[in-house]
Structure 1
Amino acid sequence: MKYSIGQFAKKTGVTVRTLRYYEEIGLLIPECTKTNRRFYCDSHLSSLQKIISLKYIGLSLEKIKKYGTCGKVFCFNDKSWRRKERNLQILLKRSTMRWQFLKNKKN
């Protein structure tokens, strides 16, 4: 399904301004039509969910962008990061289950 920025903001509870900022810094890039109209799709829901979860555990947007886009979200070796990684895994799993529940509920 395709969402305008307003629809996506309403669906996710994230402000339009925040979505535009994430696009500006290259963190969450919407797809574009041939007429340059931007839209978000269901895959962006997952990406946004990860961004929110990583912010929740204390990562800066800069680190999320650096490590999240290369697939190496946690490259750190100290114990506190490993503990945060475990907590993140649990949080992401719960968030994914919630997104799926909400998605199925609306359909």
Structure 2
Amino acid sequence: MLSKEEMDKLESILFGHDELLEKIRQDEKELETILKQQQKHKENQMKGIQRVKQAGYRFGRRRKITIKDKKVQAIMKIYDSQDITAKEAMQKLNIARATFYRLRKEWINMQFKEKEYESFK
């Protein structure tokens, strides 16, 4: 999109070439319309994404292993009792270090929430 100064300069350069100048003006209007449509599309897309997220849908790749897996919970209980090391737990679950500690954090949060829930009964 051309500024007022740029358009004035272009008009002075193309003085006498009315057809070309008119074509440039039409192209400017078309470009403006396209940009408005793109902006509206992006706004609608963001609204849709927000609605879907509020409904509980998660974007991205599904995790292969989660804290809800019985095997993970069993290994975390054994790890809590200090019968195995973190490295052994990672090997038994066949997961990377970062994944283990992410699951560990989720496990601790889950345990805390369960204890908190029990205290309200």
TM above 0.5: no
Q: Which has the higher strand share?
A: 1
The TM-score with structure 1 as length reference comes to 0.31
Q: Which has the higher helix share?
A: 2
The TM-score with structure 2 as length reference comes to 0.28
Structure exhibiting the larger radius of gyration computed from Cα positions? 2
